[in-house]
Amino acid sequence: MSLLNGTTLAYIGDAVYEVIVREALIKKGYQKVDNLHKEAIKYTSAVGQNKAIELLREFLTEKEESMFKRGRNAQSDRKAKNASVSEYRQATGFEALIGYLYLDKQTERLSELMDKIIK
């Protein structure tokens, strides 16, 4: 996993994070798709992911911080729709971290960090 670039890690991390959030919301009792979607956006938008990484930064290991920075600093042609450039880059870093943990099969650590975000 250490050889993958930041945008590749972010690509898989985005999908993994989306599934984790959706599952958590369903477990919380959300059933109507419209309500699920509205609530999920609070977590999965670039703004929401930026908030998530800010919550986690103090808990990250050196390796995790490195993976976050790899994603945050990656060159991308993609632009943020409803977020600042800074928020979008932070969100990409967050997704890269999630992708790294997932691909490295660090499921316990991934769950631990997700529990801090989704209460």
Name the pTM for this structure.
Answer: 0.92
For the cut 80, the answer to whether the pLDDT of residue 113 exceeds it is yes
| Residue 32: predicted pLDDT | 94
Residue 29 φ/ψ region, left for φ over 0, alpha for ψ in the -120 to 50 degree band, beta for the rest: left
Q: What is the largest CA-CA distance in the chain?
A: 41
Could you confirm whether 14 is annotated as catalytic?
Answer: yes
Chain Cα centroid distance, residue 85: 16
Count structural domains, the chain: 1
What is the Cβ-side half-sphere exposure of residue 15, based on CA atoms within 13 angstroms?
8
Residue 32 lies in a domain: yes
Element (H, E) at 58: none
More confident residue, 109 or 79: 109
* Residue span of the structural domain in which 56 resides: 6-117
CATH number, domain at 66? 1.10.1520.10
Residue 26 lies in a domain: yes
In this prediction, residues 101-114 reach a mean pLDDT of 97
Q: What sign results for the dihedral spanned by CA atoms 44, 46, 78, 8? A: negative
* SS3 assignment, position 19: helix
**Of 2-11, 41-50, 51-60, 92-101, the least confident:** 2-11
Residue 25 lies in a domain: yes
More confident residue, 22 or 82: 22
| Residue 1: predicted pLDDT | 58
| Catalytic position from the list 14, 34, 77, 104 | 14
> Could you report the per-residue pLDDT of 27-83, keeping only the tens digit for each?
999 989 999 999 999 999 999 999 999 999 999 999 999 999 999 998 876 777 788
Residue 73 lies in a domain: yes
What is the average pLDDT value for the chain, to the nearest integer? 93
What whole-number distance in Å separates Cα of residue 90 and Cα of residue 69?
Answer: 8
Residue 10 lies in a domain: yes
Residue 22 lies in a domain: yes
